[in-house]
Amino acid sequence: MKKIFYYVIPLLLFFSACQKEEKKEFIGPEYKVASSGFNVVSNFSFNLSNVNFATGDQQFFKAQFNESASWTIEVKGLTSQAVKTITGLSDRVDESNSSWLGTHDDFIFFQSGEEVEATLSILGVKDPQKVNFKITNARIYPGAKEMGNGFEGWVKNSPEWWYSPYFDKSDSIFGGLVTAPKLEEKYAFKLSGIDNNNNFYIGAVRRTLPRNFLTSANKDFYVNVYAYGNGSNTSTLKISLKHDSDSKFSYGTSQGYDDKKDDAYEYSIPLNFNGWKLISVHYSAFTRTPDKDFGGSGPNIKDPGKLVFVDFALLTKTVGEKAEVVLDYPTITFEKAFMQ
């Protein structure tokens, strides 16, 4: 008896933890297998044949059965391979239990212009039903536009973007768009190279924030980015928030930021993981750089209204060792970390 007790309690805790994190739209705690008399009264179909998630369209599915049964709709992007699963237990599928805003289950995002296949499977019924439709424009998550639409429109040294290999030789350093690995749309941004000049710094990509996106009054926000690590124990991704602290305006300006007169607040993430990982850092976790020449000489006022640049920098502890990171879909989200 004692033994069972020890096994059951952790299991219960495990399941309740799972349920909290479970984002699938599962209706109830039980499954119901279709009986031998089960019939599909009206076939599986969808609401929109072309869905524009970017402008707020929502897709939903339709089907009717002669009895309640557990069902699953798996939506799969035929180009992206992104997946969204919707489950329920009912005698009909309709807007109330199958609406979809273009979100995805795992890391990969649905893509603009792609064909998707939706498969309805009913527990205990042999043949699933399939329908196809098109996503004309993929979902735009909150805070993604301001952070540059997942690097899709990245242009070297434009007002919105800046890339710096710093003092290292450009032939041993790379910073630019790549098509693999990536999570969203066509491109991700890769930083790679060797720290030849022994300053631990390989390169950084910088996003300029639009004015009035962040305000002095709201410090409850997260900086999020997907990073692809290669299991290195010596390289790190440093996110640095550059504030035009001494601005005479209530806001900062990109022209006003000076490394030797303003403030940079930073947070470092070891790149000791393999593959994609979502990184979310609350504003309160960023600490001021000790580097006097790069954001450590300002008045030290942490005012998000004056935040003008978000830098993603690749650093290494080891001279001569190659380091790399790939980034995709940076966002700034309020009150909650990014949720896909």
Torsion, CA 293, CA 299, CA 302, CA 305, rounded to 10: -100
| 168 binds Ca ion, rule: CB under 5 A | no
Q: Which of 193, 229, 256, 305 binds Ca ion (CB under 5 A)?
A: 256
In sequence order, what DSSP letters do the residues of 193-231 get, joined into one string? EE--SSSSEEEEEEEEPPTTSS-TT---EEEEEEEEEE-
| 263 binds Ca ion, rule: CB under 5 A | no
Range in contact with Ca ion (rule: CB under 5 A) among 51-59, 151-159, 267-275, 278-286: 151-159
How far is the first Cα of the chain from the last one, in angstroms, to the nearest whole number?
42
| 148 binds Ca ion, rule: CB under 5 A | no
Q: Which of 73, 286, 328, 332 binds Ca ion (CB under 5 A)?
A: 328
Range in contact with Ca ion (rule: CB under 5 A) among 192-200, 220-228, 259-267, 271-279: 259-267
Closest CA to 209 of 284, 121, 131, 145: 145
Q: Which is nearer to Ca ion, 150 or 193 (CB)?
A: 150
Binding residues for Ca ion, total number by CB under 5 A: 11
In sequence order, what DSSP letters do the residues of 128-173 get, joined into one string? -EEEEEEEEE----TTSTTTTGGGTT--TT-SSEEEE-TTS-GGGE
Range in contact with Ca ion (rule: CB under 5 A) among 72-80, 96-104, 161-169, 326-334: 326-334
| Residue 9 per-residue DSSP state | H
Range in contact with Ca ion (rule: CB under 5 A) among 15-23, 48-56, 158-166, 176-184: 176-184
| Residue 153: both structure tokens together | 């429109």
Q: Which is nearer to Ca ion, 82 or 120 (CB)?
A: 82
Q: Which of 244, 263, 266, 303 binds Ca ion (CB under 5 A)?
A: 244
β-partners of residue 45 are: 62
The CB density around residue 295, as the number of other CB atoms within 10 Å, is 28
Q: Which of 150, 165, 175, 295 binds Ca ion (CB under 5 A)?
A: 150
Alpha carbons 182 and 284: distance in angstroms, whole number:
29
Range in contact with Ca ion (rule: CB under 5 A) among 15-23, 165-173, 219-227, 248-256: 248-256
Q: Which is nearer to Ca ion, 315 or 327 (CB)?
A: 327
Q: Which is nearer to Ca ion, 168 or 185 (CB)?
A: 185
Range in contact with Ca ion (rule: CB under 5 A) among 60-68, 85-93, 249-257, 306-314: 249-257
| Residue 263: both structure tokens together | 């403030």
| 311 binds Ca ion, rule: CB under 5 A | no
Residue 181 backbone phi and psi in degrees, to 5? -75, 155
Torsion, CA 156, CA 162, CA 168, CA 174, rounded to 10: -50
| 246 binds Ca ion, rule: CB under 5 A | yes
Helix and strand numbers (H, E) in the chain are 2, 17
| 184 binds Ca ion, rule: CB under 5 A | yes
Q: Which is nearer to Ca ion, 179 or 233 (CB)?
A: 179
Least distance (Å) from Ca ion to the CB of residue 191? 15
Please identify the residue of the shown chain whose CB is closest to the bound Ca ion.
150
Q: Which residues bind Ca ion (CB under 5 A)?
A: 150-151, 184-185, 187, 244, 246, 256, 258, 262, 328
